[in-house]
């Protein structure tokens, strides 16, 4: 059999073939193709010409999806054009007849005379004008009829048809739909993004979302262009508007653009190229989180330097996001089964791949999720029994004492080795200094912080285990980063009763996955984040591993408005186990395998002098003891609702109806719900139960969650 001929291009040494013609060939043989080789330069020029030609097309025709949608819309318009034209002519005839009648009856002159109380004196004048206009109308109608008849007899029907067509077009223009006119603004169709992604419609969308005034306009700094899997553009707001206001009303803008808010990214442009009124917008072609998750690069990494932020995930537009571990501590919060443990294991795996990092892991859940880290962990605690909590306390006391000792030694080092009284990569990697980076990861930390058991069995009124754990974690989170310590805490109950503000405020990086209420989102991300447009309760349950990342630079305080929606990488437990095996080998070669991973399970007794000093320093940063959930008294409104709600009741209910159940008035009932954190400052309004007008509604599931969490 002869070799098939091909026709195609040759790029980088590879021949890409395409069919040219089918030649006669015996049955069973491959088709015969012809081919030619082109250079890389020729291919690049051809591709650039094609892209330039594509960029000259209107926005709606530049992608196959938007072009198809626009084509369907144009076809639909063409099919219904005759019907719409007849309807417009009919409306124009009605409008024109009404205008003629107002002219004949001298409505303008009559109303002006009546308003000035001169109607009686000028009645004769008004009547004369009325008769004159009636005569003019009759004469015009008669002349038109006679002229039409003469034209028909002398010339034919063509002039009459042309005149009638022009008159019909005039009537259609007069009867065109006008915004705000009664009965003319509602249409049975749907809005689509394909016709919105240009400057004019963007201005309309901002005005519809009340983000710009009637006489204000936008300035396109960068025109809409297809970037990745969506559209990107940069705009300048009117001088009276702020970028933070638009970010806070992202949902309203998404509604005006006819897209789900998960497809819309609104960011302020900062630095020399930006200002307080410049925004970068990105709108995805489809749900960016509907596809499968991206596998973490740590799967194939042979090692990792933790001073380099490890890969964490991607944004909706595909931009890679890294998570700094050094100089900061991390709080992860979510409802169950939203990927909280998966997220926590990403930085822990990076720490396991660095042989110069000392890893401490406590799994308050007690499952197998963190078992792979036993191969490399200096201390590994699995479970939340009393014995496990007491072991964790001893480990944290060791760490607190080590933090204090490190600062003593750092203060004695010369300025060249330690210029800023902080650890450096050289210090943490040199065994003679004994200051390795130390990462403490605690999953389901609420199980330890909620343990209401006395530290001393003989003194039941003394300090509780929960309080001691909280004190030590607060001290390490507050003073440990400069000494090379980092905390990674994960919880499914991030409320103030479990994690007090004194501890939560020291955790510089926050990551909130899906939560039930906006109050829980603010508890994780910080006060004021809800008003700034950051609400993890709006995340979809189907988007596993998607959350809001805030304050990830590790150097600055939390900045409202800077949260990034991130889809975290996927790292299965088998890949983690393999990574930990590599990390164990590297630690054995570097001589840094110690503690539980090396079989050294005994905890050393702390030096009395160090213990006393550490105790005083920890007490200086102590926080109030977490309040046990059963000790918190329910607000009156929640206590009444807890007895009233049935287990099978879900969804929305009119607030007034719910208030009537417990014998309250609607207004004080709504205010009580807002004080209890059940409803936002501006309660939602919807049409439910056949109501004609929207009414204030309350989510029964949110009420039940508030009752449970208090």
Looking at residue 247, its pLDDT comes to 85
Q: Give which of 366, 299, 388 is closest to 579, Cα–Cα.
A: 299
Least-confidence region, from 2-6, 467-471, 489-493, 558-562: 2-6
Looking at residue 610, its pLDDT comes to 62
Contact (CB, 8 A) for 428 and 436: yes
Report which of residues 405 and 493 the model is more confident about: 405
- In the three-class reduction of DSSP (H, G, I as helix; E, B as strand; rest coil), residue 72 is classed as helix
Find the mean pLDDT for residues 319-332.
92
Domains of the chain and CATH, by start? 7-56 (no CATH), 64-174 (no CATH), 193-284 (3.30.980.40), 328-513+572-620 (3.40.50.300), 633-709 (1.10.10)
Looking at residue 429, its pLDDT comes to 95
Residue 654 in this model has a pLDDT that exceeds 60: yes
Report which of residues 368 and 192 the model is more confident about: 368
Confidence of residue 14 (pLDDT cuts 50, 70, 90): very low
**Using one digit for the tens of pLDDT, what is the confidence trace for 462-510?**
889 999 999 999 999 999 999 999 999 999 877 777 788 888 888 989 9
Residue 222, token pair as written in the block: 């960068």
Q: Please tell me the total number of residues recorded for the chain in this structure.
A: 710
Looking at residue 44, its pLDDT comes to 64
* H runs (alpha helix) in 249-370: 250-257, 340-352
Give the highest mean pLDDT range of 141-150, 307-316, 620-629: 307-316
DSSP assignment of 213-282 equals -TT---EEEEEEEEETTEEEEEEE--TT--HHHHHHTHHHHHHHHTS-GGGEEEEE--STT--TTEEEEE
- Distances in whole angstroms, Cα of residue 184 to Cα of each of 180, 187, 195: 7, 8, 21
**What proportion of the chain, given as a percentage, has pLDDT over 70?**
77
CA–CA gap between residue 221 and residue 233 (Å, rounded): 8
Strands 357-363 and 437-443: parallel
**How is the chain split among helix, strand and coil, in percent rounded to 5?**
45, 15, 40
CA–CA gap between residue 369 and residue 475 (Å, rounded): 27
- In the three-class reduction of DSSP (H, G, I as helix; E, B as strand; rest coil), residue 459 is classed as coil
Residues 6+ positions from 95 with CB-CB distance below 8 Å: 174, 175
Report which of residues 196 and 321 the model is more confident about: 321
**Using one digit for the tens of pLDDT, what is the confidence trace for 44-68?**
666 655 555 544 555 555 566 666 7
């Amino acid at each position: 059999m002869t070799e098939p001929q091909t026709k195609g291009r040759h790029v980088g040494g590879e021949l890409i073939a395409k069919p040219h013609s089918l030649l006669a060939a015996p049955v069973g043989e491959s088709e015969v193709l012809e081919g030619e080789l082109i250079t890389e330069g020729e291919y690049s020029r051809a591709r650039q010409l094609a892209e330039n030609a594509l960029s000259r097309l209107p926005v709606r025709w530049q992608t196959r999806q938007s072009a198809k949608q626009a084509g369907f819309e144009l076809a639909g318009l063409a099919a219904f054009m005759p019907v719409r034209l007849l309807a417009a002519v009919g409306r124009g005839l009605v409008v024109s007849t009404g205008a003629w009648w107002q002219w004949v009856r001298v409505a303008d002159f009559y109303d002006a005379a009546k308003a000035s109380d001169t109607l009686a004196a000028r009645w004769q004048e008004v009547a004369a004008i009325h008769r004159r206009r009636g005569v003019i109308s009759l004469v015009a109608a008669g002349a038109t009829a006679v002229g039409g008849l003469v034209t028909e007899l002398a010339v034919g029907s063509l002039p009459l048809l042309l005149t009638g067509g022009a008159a019909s077009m005039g009537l259609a223009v007069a009867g065109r739909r006008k915004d705000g006119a009664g009965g003319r603004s509602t249409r049975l169709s749907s809005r689509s993004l394909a016709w919105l992604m240009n400057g004019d419609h963007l201005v309309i969308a901002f005005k519809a979302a009340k983000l710009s005034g009637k006489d204000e306009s936008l300035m396109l700094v960068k025109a809409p262009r297809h970037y990745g899997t969506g559209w990107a553009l940069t705009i300048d707001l009117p001088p009276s508007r702020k970028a933070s206001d638009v970010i806070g009303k992202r949902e309203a803008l998404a509604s005006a653009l006819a897209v789900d808010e998960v497809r819309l990214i609104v960011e302020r442009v900062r630095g020399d190229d930006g200002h307080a009124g410049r925004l970068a917008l990105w709108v995805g072609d489809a749900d960016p989180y509907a596809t499968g998750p991206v596998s973490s690069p740590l799967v194939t990494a042979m090692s990792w330097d933790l001073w380099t932020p490890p890969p964490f995930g991607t944004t909706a537009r595909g931009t890679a996001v890294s998570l700094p571990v050094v100089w900061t501590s991390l709080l992860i919060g979510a409802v169950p089964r939203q990927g909280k443990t998966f997220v926590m294991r990403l930085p822990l795996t990076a720490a396991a791949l660095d042989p110069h990092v000392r890893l401490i892991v406590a799994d308050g859940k007690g499952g197998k999720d963190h078992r792979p880290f036993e191969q490399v962990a200096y201390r590994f605690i699995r479970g939340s029994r009393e014995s496990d909590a007491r072991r964790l306390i001893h480990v944290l006391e060791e760490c607190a004492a080590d933090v204090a000792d490190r600062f003593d030694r750092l203060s004695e080092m010369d300025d060249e080795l330690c210029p800023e009284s902080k650890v450096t990569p050289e210090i943490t990697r040199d065994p003679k200094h004994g200051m390795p980076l130390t990462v403490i990861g605690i999953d389901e930390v609420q199980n330890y912080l909620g343990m209401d058991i006395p530290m001393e069995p003989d003194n039941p009124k003394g300090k509780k285990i929960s309080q001691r754990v909280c004190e030590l974690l607060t001290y390490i989170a507050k003073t440990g980063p400069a000494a090379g310590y980092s905390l990674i805490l994960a919880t499914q109950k991030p409320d103030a009763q479990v994690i007090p503000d004194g501890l939560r405020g020291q955790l510089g990086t926050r990551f909130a996955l899906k939560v039930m209420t906006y109050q829980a989102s603010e508890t994780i991300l910080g006060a004021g984040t809800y008003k700034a447009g950051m609400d993890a309760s709006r995340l979809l349950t189907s988007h596993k591993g998607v959350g809001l990342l805030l304050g990830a630079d590790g150097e600055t305080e939390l900045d409202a408005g800077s949260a990034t929606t991130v889809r975290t990488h996927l790292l299965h437990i088998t890949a983690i186990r393999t990574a930990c095996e590599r990390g164990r080998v590297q630690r054995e070669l570097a001589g840094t395998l110690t503690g539980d991973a090396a079989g050294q399970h005994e905890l050393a007794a702390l030096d009395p002098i160090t213990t006393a000093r550490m105790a005083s320093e920890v007490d200086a940063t102590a926080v109030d003891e977490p309040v046990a959930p059963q000790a918190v008294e329910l607000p009156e409104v929640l206590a009444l609702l807890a007895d009233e709600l049935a287990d099978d009741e879900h969804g929305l209910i009119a607030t007034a109806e719910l208030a009537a159940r417990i014998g309250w008035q609607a207004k004080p009932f709504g205010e009580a719900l807002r004080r209890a954190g059940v409803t936002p400052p501006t309660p939602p309004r919807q049409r439910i139960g056949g109501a004609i007008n929207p009414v204030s509604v309350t989510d029964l599931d949110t009420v039940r969650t508030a009752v449970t969490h208090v």
